[in-house]
Amino acid sequence: MIKKLTKQMLLAQVLSVLTTSICMLVDSLVIGRCLGVGAVAAYGLSNPILLIIGGIGSILSAGVQASCSKSIGQGLLDEANKGYASAVGTALGVSTFFLLFVIVLQNYVPTWMGAGKTGELFESTKGYLIGFTIGAPACMIALVMIPFLQMAGQMALLISAVVAMTVTDIALDLVNAYFLHWGLFGMGLASALSYYVALLVAIWYFFSKKSIFKFKLRNVILAKIGELFKSAVPSVFNIGTGVVLVFLINKILMSISGSLAVAAYSVITTIGNASNCISTGVYGVSLTLTGILYQEEDKTGLKDLLLTFMPRCLIMGLSVGAVLIAGAPFLVGLFLPEGGQASMQMAVTGLRIYALGLVPCCINNAFKGYLQGSDRIRAIVNYSLAEGLLVPALFAFGLSFPFGTTGVWFYFVIGEVLALLGFSILKWKRAHKVSLSIDTYLDFKPYFGVKPEDMLEFDVKSLQEVSEIAERAEEFCLEHGQTEITSKYVALCIEEMTSNIISYGFSNRGKNSLSVRVQNKGDRLVIRFRDDCRAFDPLSYAFKKSEEPDVSGIRLMMKVADEVRYTYSLNLNNLMLVVNGGK
């Protein structure tokens, strides 16, 4: 079930990042080819404001993935809703501040950005900033809503919103360039309106009855906002190391080959960032699912998660890498049509070398998402520091002496490979052996979960299996010191609930899955049912007279359990029962 879910989420995440990257690429191309060099300069000078708006939205989004996924994993939907309201409220407040800041100080901000006090560059920069920041609220709120759509299992809606945004932005860019002629203000406004289109496509879900997330003003809590930003610290650090690395690489290239090499590097990073949609997607899915599964202490689910990633990291990295290597001259030519043979050749060579690092980058991001989702903050900070700054910067500097710019281009692949090797060596040292087993890399803490002998786990495919599974559950309870009456009640509860789920939830196509897990935790039993059928909250049926589903099983569940938690997230029903020992 986790493997199937991982594949679905990964596809949605990669496509959403890819379409956004394409949108940014098209913006750059249209501005450069239709509005001229001066417009490109104004666009570049506007970037700090754009990056701050997008950066804060991305930080909030990462905080949501790390914090709210844990609340979902614990079955604490109220806490997740506090995170939802606090994230949306913060995004709205911050983005409105930036909008008012730019509008009120429009005659000063371009000057602060380096555009001078008057002239064409000043006017173009001002126009783009005003046009773009009109969409700042939609931009930031849309970024925040992405992880909530994922946790709600609305992957198709997420893709639809991002595709609608991309199509709108491209269409409006072209309309502005060839018909309206509103200059950079029109280009900024095109981006702004595209964000509102994406928001309109996605936001209806959050107002629908089936939404598990509800916005309430009283749930906008200062402490929760602080928690979201604290949970995003690794992401902030990751972004920071990336900015410093670009600065250092630019300095190295400028000192050995001048502006032509810097221009080539700009093209490599632009194309490289778009191609890295695969590793960004891997990181986002890994972080979200780890946050949920880790709180459930689901060792099997976590193993399935990373085992599903590994072959897909290899396939995606090799596929995208092959496209970059084969299509490097064409891709570079899009950005440097008149850049000169020297600059183009450097960019083509650098892009082909860059492509070699995509596979280890994807694998690194899978592990980084796991580390952040499992609260190993120091580990991910060290990982990001080595991978994103220290190793690539040192090797770029060192290899620039014997090999010039070609040596610098190896910064990415060497940084990714050595970071992965260093992470592996640390895990091998802890395990006291060299092993590629996924257990070695997961490195569960001693107190995490339960011992294998204290857990019973099975997938149920049909009604014919239910009786046998109930018998095994009863034997398991008796073997772990539960009374006969408790053991019989637990077995009967499992039999009734699994029968209900299969009878009323499974479709005729037979593609549904049901997982049942029983854990003995000393003084209590924890029973979890997880299925991918339509949303169904058994607690809302507990006291109804309807016979569909059979509420007698639900009432038995309420009688057996001391605590019942239900959540519907990631298109999965998750029901957790806690039974105190000796009941």
Domain ranges for the chain: 1-231, 241-449, 452-580
Q: Which residues lie below 8 Å from residue 288, measured CB to CB, with a gap of 6+?
A: 9, 65, 69, 147, 150, 151, 369, 373
Check if the beta carbon of residue 309 is closer than 8 Å to that of residue 6: yes
Q: Which residues lie below 8 Å from residue 282, measured CB to CB, with a gap of 6+?
A: 10, 13, 309, 312, 313, 362, 365, 366, 369
Please compute the mean of the pLDDT values over residues 61-90 and round it to a whole number.
Answer: 88
User: Distance between CA 162 and CA 165 in Å, rounded?
Assistant: 5
Check if the beta carbon of residue 373 is closer than 8 Å to that of residue 286: yes
- Top-ranked range on mean pLDDT: pick from 27-41, 336-350, 386-400, 434-448: 386-400
Q: Which residues lie below 8 Å from residue 483, measured CB to CB, with a gap of 6+?
A: 582, 583
Residue type (1 letter), 577: L
> Token digits for 495?
């039999």
User: Distance between CA 188 and CA 333 in Å, rounded?
Assistant: 25
Provide the CA 373 distance to its chain's centre, in angstroms: 11
556 exposure class (CB count in 10 Å sphere: 0-12, 13-18, 19+): middle
Check if the beta carbon of residue 86 is closer than 8 Å to that of residue 224: yes
CB atoms within 10 A of CB 248: 17
Taking all residues of the chain, what is their mean pLDDT, rounded to a whole number?
Answer: 86
Q: Which CATH class is domain 452-580?
A: alpha beta
Q: Does the structure show a pLDDT above 70 at 69? A: yes
Q: Can you say whether the dihedral through the CA atoms of 342, 344, 347, 353 is positive or negative? A: negative
377-434 pLDDT, tens digit per residue, is: 888 888 989 998 999 999 999 999 999 999 999 999 999 999 999 999 999 998 899 9
Between these two residues, 233 and 473, which has the higher pLDDT value?
Answer: 473
Question: How confident is the model at residue 176, as a pLDDT?
Answer: 94
Q: What is the SS3 assignment for 237?
A: helix
Check if the beta carbon of residue 428 is closer than 8 Å to that of residue 422: no
Look up the pTM and report it: 0.79
User: Distance between CA 336 and CA 261 in Å, rounded?
Assistant: 12
Check if the beta carbon of residue 373 is closer than 8 Å to that of residue 66: yes
Report the share of the chain in percent with pLDDT over 90: 36
Please compute the mean of the pLDDT values over residues 208-226 and round it to a whole number.
Answer: 90
Strand order in the sheet with 563-569: 455-460, 514-520, 524-531, 572-580, 563-569
Question: How confident is the model at residue 169, as a pLDDT?
Answer: 92
